[in-house]
Amino acid sequence: MNNRNEKKGDILIVDDIPENLQLLFTMLTKQGYEVRRVLSGKQALNVVKVEPPDLILLDIRMPELDGYEVCQRLKADETTQNIPVIFLSALNETFDKVTAFQVGGVDYISKPFQLQEVIIRVENQLNLLEMQRKLEEKNKELELVNKELESFGYRVSHDLRNHLNVINSIIYLLSKKHGQKLDNVGLKNLKILEDESERMAEMIEDLWRLSESKSNYLDISLESFDLSGVVRKIVDRLKIKMKEKEKIVIIKSDVYATGDEGLIKIAVENLLDNANKFTNKTEQPRIEFGQLQQQDQTVYFVKDNGVGFDTKKGNNLFTPFQRLHQEQEFPGTGIGLATVKRIIELHGGEIWYDAKVNQGTTFYFTFGE
Ligand SMILES: Nc1ncnc2c1ncn2[C@@H]1O[C@H](COP(=O)(O)OP(=O)(O)OP(=O)(O)O)[C@@H](O)[C@H]1O
Ligand SMILES: [Mg+2]
């Protein structure tokens, strides 16, 4: 690939008439392009294979291999198919524009050549190429970041699992060997520890599956389950965190969902955790879980009346580490919503939101049922 910052572009001109070649060559080299010339289609194919140019100006009427044929062969070869081809045609020859585009040409220039027209058409194609290359680079970077995140998740859940095993065996020893020395409160606390670490083990297991499953549906089990019940359990656990403030929590009963219960639990837990966190500074905090019907689709929602946010700034909320609030005010890492989105997309569903500063936030989601 050429470094386009140094060079303006490497152009190959293919024409069996030397005067045409000379004319275009002079025009384009004056503009600072690097120009190569060949007199036949066959030569063109050879040259392109050895050192692919950024752009080809290709005459149509040539003996043996004509321009259409050359273009078709270039487009059929993976290594050359992305090189843009501009056709050259004389005004008096029958030029079939449709065929020109059908065989893969991107533009055409008619003879007699006019300096300005040639330059503009060439520049257009080179600019497009440049944008395409930049996009490809961005995509590659994104892929890399994704891979890193995946292996990061994998490693974290693996390490957490090891630590948790140690904690679990100590809890077990404590209750077996020293349980009788504890009073009722002590025993109750030990039970909470046991339940919590069991729950944590489940979560790690689910996250592990999530990081392994990448973006295919293979590992997703589809079962219908009582989502209201799941939400109730999560809220009960959250209530321990809700300390001083009494929060109004409304949970619609008998809401069922179809999907992977373990994963959906993680998703809803993250949404409720946010709803709880972002109502911590609200006067009369209120959190609601419910369901509504939109056309034929079941839409679930988690709604709060907390700090909200400016939706104009919310573009990247579902990207890892994106946060709209100060760490000192509302602590967090910014991984929650990225996980939620991932889980929902694994189910073929969608997630979106509605928010207003100081009035609250609602997250809506579907599971593609
Ligand atoms: N219910 C909500 N109300 C207001 N802002 C929200 C709400 N939910 C999410 N946000 C905004 O979106 C950001 C990203 O949310 P996300 O759950 O990914 O991260 P977090 O809660 O900050 O950290 P983590 O979930 O990793 O502990 C939050 O930092 C906050 O700015
Ligand atoms: Mg969160």
Q: How far apart are CA 290 and CA 364, in angstroms?
A: 10
Ligand found nearest the CA of 329: 1
Residue nearest ligand 1's atom 27 by CA: 332
**Token code pair at residue 167:** 């904690």
Residue nearest ligand 1's atom 19 by CA: 334
**157 CA to centre of ligand 1 in angstroms:** 21
**Token code pair at residue 204:** 């790690």
DSSP secondary structure code for residue 180 in this structure: G
Condensed to tens digits (0 to 9), the pLDDT of residues 83-128 reads 999 999 876 666 778 889 999 999 999 888 898 999 999 999 999 9
Q: Which ligand 1 atom lies nearest to the CA of residue 339?
A: 18
**Cβ-contact 250, 286 below 8 angstroms:** yes
pLDDT at 1: 43
**143 CA to centre of ligand 2 in angstroms:** 24
Ligand found nearest the CA of 333: 1
Ligand found nearest the CA of 304: 1
Q: How far apart are CA 197 and CA 194, in angstroms?
A: 5
DSSP secondary structure code for residue 51 in this structure: S
Which of 266, 274, 316, 362 is the pocket-test mutation for ligand 1 (most atoms within 8 Å of CB)? 274
Sign of the alpha-carbon dihedral angle for 75, 77, 78, 84: negative
pLDDT at 9: 92
Which residue ranges have their beta carbon within 6 Å of ligand 1? Answer: 270, 274-275, 278, 304, 306-309, 317, 322-325, 332-338, 361
Q: Which ligand 1 atom lies nearest to the CA of residue 306?
A: 3
Condensed to tens digits (0 to 9), the pLDDT of residues 12-58 reads 999 999 999 999 999 999 999 999 999 999 999 999 999 999 999 99
Residue labelled with tokens 């220039």: 109
**313 CA to centre of ligand 1 in angstroms:** 13
Count Cβ atoms below 10 Å from residue 283 Cβ, excluding itself. 7
**210 CA to centre of ligand 1 in angstroms:** 20
Q: How far is CA 24 from CA 5, 70, 291, in A?
A: 23, 20, 67
**Which uninterrupted H or E stretch holds 315?**
none
Q: Which residues contact 105 (CB under 8 A, 6 or more apart)?
A: 58, 71, 85, 86, 87
pLDDT at 6: 53
Residue labelled with tokens 């100590």: 170
pLDDT at 328: 82
Q: How far apart are CA 204 and CA 163, in angstroms?
A: 11
Beta 360-365 vs 297-304: how paired, if at all? antiparallel
Q: How far apart are CA 139 and CA 133, in angstroms?
A: 10
**322 CA to centre of ligand 1 in angstroms:** 8
Which of 288, 319, 337, 364 is the pocket-test mutation for ligand 1 (most atoms within 8 Å of CB)? 337
Cα angle value 271/226/246 (rounded, 5°): 45
DSSP secondary structure code for residue 66 in this structure: -
Q: How many residues does the chain have?
A: 369
Contacts of 98-103 spanning 24+ positions with Cβ under 8 A: 99/68, 100/60, 100/68, 103/68, 103/71, 103/72, 103/75
**132 CA to centre of ligand 1 in angstroms:** 34
Residue nearest ligand 1's atom 9 by CA: 274
Helices (H), the chain: 18-30, 41-50, 67-76, 97-102, 115-178, 184-213, 227-241, 261-277, 336-346
**217 CA to centre of ligand 2 in angstroms:** 25
Q: How far is CA 2 from CA 15, 32, 53, 56, in A?
A: 24, 14, 9, 15
Low-confidence ranges of the chain (pLDDT < 50): 1-5, 215-217
Q: Which pTM was predicted? A: 0.57
pLDDT at 361: 98
pLDDT at 18: 93
pLDDT at 161: 83
**Token code pair at residue 44:** 């063109």
List CB-based neighbours of ion ligand 2 within 5 Å: 274, 336
